[in-house]
A and B are shown apart, each in its own frame.
Chain A
Amino acid sequence: MGTRVPLVDNAFFVLGLTPRARWPQVARAAEALLLALQAGDPGAEMYATPLGPQPRTVRAVQRARARLRDPDERIQHEIWWEAPSRQAAARTAADDAWPQALGAWGWCAR
């Protein structure tokens, strides 16, 4: 489900910072992440949010930097930065309670 509040795209989550970070630190973190993304660093590709990990893109980092530069935007992101994590459990085939169910009808399990 989509959300209007800054949770999945919270600028602090995207840049891996806390609300203590001042502007120079924000700029440095954004720059480092942009370089890492351009270099294809797998460690930079995802970031954690209260709603589960999200892909980190160059555009997301640039937007996060712009948001933290604007105090009216930054304060909204600070409020939501405090939200605790409660990720939805991802269901995969391995999580099936009974993966062989189709076998009861003679069909091959996929």
Chain B
Amino acid sequence: MTTAMIMGVCVLVCLAVVAAPLPSSDMLDPESSRAKFNRRAEARLAATVFALAMLACGVLMALERGATWPIVPLAVLAVGGMVALHPWLAVRWICIPLGLPRLAVTMGRLGGHPWVRDPEGGAVLSGVLAQLRRPLDAPMNDWLRARLRRGPLRGAGLVAAGLLAADGGDRVTARALLASIDDLDPALCPPLARRIALEWRIADAARNGDWALVATLTEDGLAPSRTVRLMAALARHHRGETADTAALWRAWAVAPRRRRTWSLIRGAVANPAHLQAIALEHVALVDDVRLAANDGGPAPREVLALHVEALVDGDAPGGTARMARLGKAWDRAMDDFGFRGHVRRRAESLRCTVLGEKVLARMHREVCEDMARMLTHTGEPADGVGDGLTATRSVAQMHTMALEELEQMCSSVTEPRPACATVSQVLEQWQAWLQVRTRYQALARVAAPEVRKDAYTIIELHLRQLMAWLWNDLGERGLANAISAWLLLEAERVHDEDSAAYHRHNVALVI
């Protein structure tokens, strides 16, 4: 009798919990995403407790009456209830390993942990994870992408879109989308989605042999998986931070899928990256004597070789030193009497309509424009380039050119926008914003404060419209909030008080 009374009280308590989910300290605004996901999580928790209490109550009552037959049906009912409440259990251990994307999406729609912050995106991400275990299937990828449009894009949806891009072979888009997860409000991004994005980026960096990036990324994970710990150990080994091969083998032994990582470990032990000589392609100087305008003299040949090298190396490390060397080489070439004489004579023999000096002036102008573009792309401070004529002109030109390029790039985010957009259009605009931001940040690193402010004014004008479209027409509040939050930070950096006030107001709105 006493047991039955205790069980009855338990059931009543659980009913109360289900009927009135626990209030959360974060629920300042009941319409906020945080409040909604808290309510969803608490309701699931209460329902789980209720189901377990019912099971325990039923089993104890049956045992009290000396009957054992109800235990099995009750246990089956409880398991069914658990799967309905927490479909991730079945998705994680059945649908994904067996590669059943449609079933994973269908079950994922039931919601629950770990997608309470983004149930729609989480269902699609479950399907994408299952699809990644199967051979490439373009129609299935299209089907999964179409499922994303059922709700606003949030963390899990963005990760699903990134993984679908990667599965289709577009790794550049995948990198951009998966890295942009960090821009979203944490209330909109399930931690598991963040973890999957990070692990894909680590796998991608390992695939490229970029162990410095692997080391950086593996430090970002709060609770790294065994595979991530193995990658961190590999990165340390490849970078020469440790020569302890036993630690590497231990990390491999505890990591899953050891057969697949076996060759990687052996390669790392036998030939770590830090001991491999960097082989650069030989820059061959042409030594034929020709009738070219520069006559193949030493000064122009050297500077032309350096110019090609700077163009090819682009934003590789050492950009400032490379630019400084190139600027000095151009100064020397332009001061070289032999070179100037050859150009002058050649201009006369070709019967040019301008003098040789004007030919050289035009060439130098184009060189400075080229160097200005390269300086912007390197994203390193321009003050280390030197004070020679070529360097000074290039830096001066860089500011004007960079602003023009930024304006041009912004046109991609101000295209006519429909009131109802497909998920591809939303993703295109999101990527366009990411590209504008990358370009702006490269400029901000090298530009003077007043140029940075001018650049901010340009991008803010365009991004404000994009943000309004995402928020008002599409209801993509998470994406609009991310853009506004970044613009707010930047407005404060460039001391644009009006813009900062506008974005502060936007960021404070409920998402």
Cβ–Cβ contact A78 & B227, under 8 A? no
Q: Which residue of B is nearest A83, CB measured?
A: B304
A24 CB-CB contact with B under 8 Å: no
A97 to B361: give the CA distance in the assembly, Å: 46
CA distance A20 to B208 in the complex (A): 44
Assembled-state Cα–Cα distance A56/B74 (Å)? 75
- Asked if B354 is at the interface (CB within 8 A of a chain A CB), the reply is yes
The smallest C-beta distance from A49 to any residue of chain B, in angstroms, reads: 10
Report yes or no: B167 in contact with A82, Cβ–Cβ below 8 A: no
B305 near A: Cβ within 8 Å?
yes
A103 adjacent to B257 (CB under 8 Å) = yes
Tell me the bound Cα distance from A101 to B201 in angstroms.
11
User: Would you call B57 an interface residue if the criterion is a C-beta within 8 Å of the partner chain's C-beta atoms?
Assistant: no
Nearest-CB distance from B391 to chain A (Å)? 17
Q: Which parts of A76-110 form the interface with B (CB within 8 Å)? A: 76, 78-89, 91, 96-108, 110
Residue from A4, A79, A98, A102 in contact with B292 in the complex, judged by beta carbons closer than 8 Å: A79
List chain B residues, Cβ under 8 A from A83: 304-305, 307-308
Q: Are A82 and B136 in contact (CB under 8 A)?
A: no
User: A82–B301 contact, CB under 8 A?
Assistant: yes
Q: A3-B311, A51-B312, A82-B286 are in contact. Are A110 and B352 (CB under 8 A)?
A: no
A98 — which chain B residues lie within 8 A by C-beta?
A: 206-207, 209, 264
CA distance A76 to B166 in the complex (A): 43
Considering the complex, give the chain B residue whose CB is closest to the CB of A101: B207
For A20, give the chain B residue with the smallest CB separation: B291
Query: Do A4 and B370 contact each other (CB < 8 Å), given the known contacts A82-B286, A82-B294?
Result: yes
Q: Which of B178-217 contact A (CB under 8 A)?
A: 199-200, 203-204, 206-209
CB of A42 within 8 A of chain B? no
Of the four ranges (under 10, 10 to 19, 20 to 34, 35 or more), the interface on chain A belongs to 35 or more
B150 within 8 A of A: no
User: B152-168: which residues lie under 8 A (CB-CB) from chain A?
Assistant: 166-167
| B351 at interface by CB-CB < 8 Å | yes
A59 to B261, CA, bound (A): 51
Q: Which residues of B contact A19 (CB under 8 A)?
A: 290-293
A2 to B372, CA, bound (A): 11
Contact present for B359 and A51 (CB under 8 Å): no
Partner among A2, A75, A89, A104 whose Cβ is within 8 Å of the Cβ of B352? A75
Q: Which of B166, B208, B367 contacts A97 (CB 8 A)?
A: B208
Q: Is the CB of B314 within 8 A of A108?
A: no
- In the complex, which residues 353-370 of chain B have their Cβ closer than 8 Å to any Cβ of chain A? 353-354, 359, 362-363, 366-367, 369-370
User: B307 contacts A5, CB within 8 Å?
Assistant: yes
CB contacts between A and B, total, < 8 Å? 155
- List the A side residues contacting B464 at CB < 8 Å: none
Q: Are A74 and B281 in contact (CB under 8 A)?
A: no
B residues near A51, Cβ cutoff 8 Å: 308, 311-312
Contacts of A4 in B (CB 8 A): 366, 369-370, 373
In the complex formed, the residue of A with least CB distance to B96 is A106
B284 within 8 A of A: yes
- Determine if B175 is an interface residue (Cβ-Cβ < 8 Å): no
Residue of B nearest to A91 (CB): B208
B-facing residues in A27-54 (Cβ within 8 Å): 50-51
Q: Does B135 contact A (CB under 8 A)?
A: yes
Given the known interface contacts A5-B370, A19-B290, A78-B346, the answer about A101 and B312 at a Cβ–Cβ threshold of 8 Å is no
Question: Given the complex of chains A and B, what is the CA–CA distance between A51 and B257 in angstroms?
Answer: 42
Q: Closest A residue to B377 by CB, please name it.
A: A1
Complexed CA–CA distance, A75 and B339 (Å): 13
A4 CB, nearest partner CB in chain B, Å: 5
Of the candidates B257, B309, B311, B366, the one whose C-beta lies within 8 Å of that of A104 is: B257
Query: Does A75 contact B281, Cβ atoms closer than 8 Å?
Result: no
Q: Chain A: which residue is nearest B350 at the CB level?
A: A71
- The reply to whether the CB of B87 lies closer than 8 angstroms to some CB of chain A is no
Residue of A nearest to B352 (CB): A71
A7 at the interface (CB under 8 A from B): yes
Asked if B65 is at the interface (CB within 8 A of a chain A CB), the reply is no
Task: Contact check, A86 vs B281: say whether CB atoms are below 8 A apart.
Answer: yes
Q: Does B352 contact A72, Cβ atoms closer than 8 Å?
A: yes
Shortest beta-carbon distance from B70 to chain A in Å: 40
B493 touches A (CB below 8 Å): no
The answer to whether A81 and B292 have CB atoms under 8 Å apart is yes
7 nearest interchain CB pairs?
A97-B209, A101-B207, A78-B293, A83-B304, A71-B350, A107-B132, A103-B260
User: With A110-B166, A110-B167 given, can you name 14 additional A-B contacts, CB distance below 8 Å?
Assistant: A1-B373, A4-B369, A19-B291, A72-B352, A72-B353, A75-B293, A76-B366, A78-B346, A79-B343, A82-B286, A84-B285, A87-B312, A97-B206, A97-B209
Residues on A facing B (Cβ under 8 Å): 1-5, 7, 18-20, 50-51, 71-72, 74-76, 78-89, 91, 96-108, 110
29 pairs across A/B with beta carbons < 8 Å? A1-B311, A3-B311, A3-B370, A4-B370, A4-B373, A18-B290, A19-B290, A71-B352, A72-B352, A75-B352, A76-B366, A78-B346, A81-B292, A84-B286, A85-B308, A86-B283, A86-B312, A97-B207, A97-B209, A98-B209, A98-B264, A100-B263, A100-B264, A101-B203, A102-B203, A104-B206, A104-B227, A105-B203, A106-B256
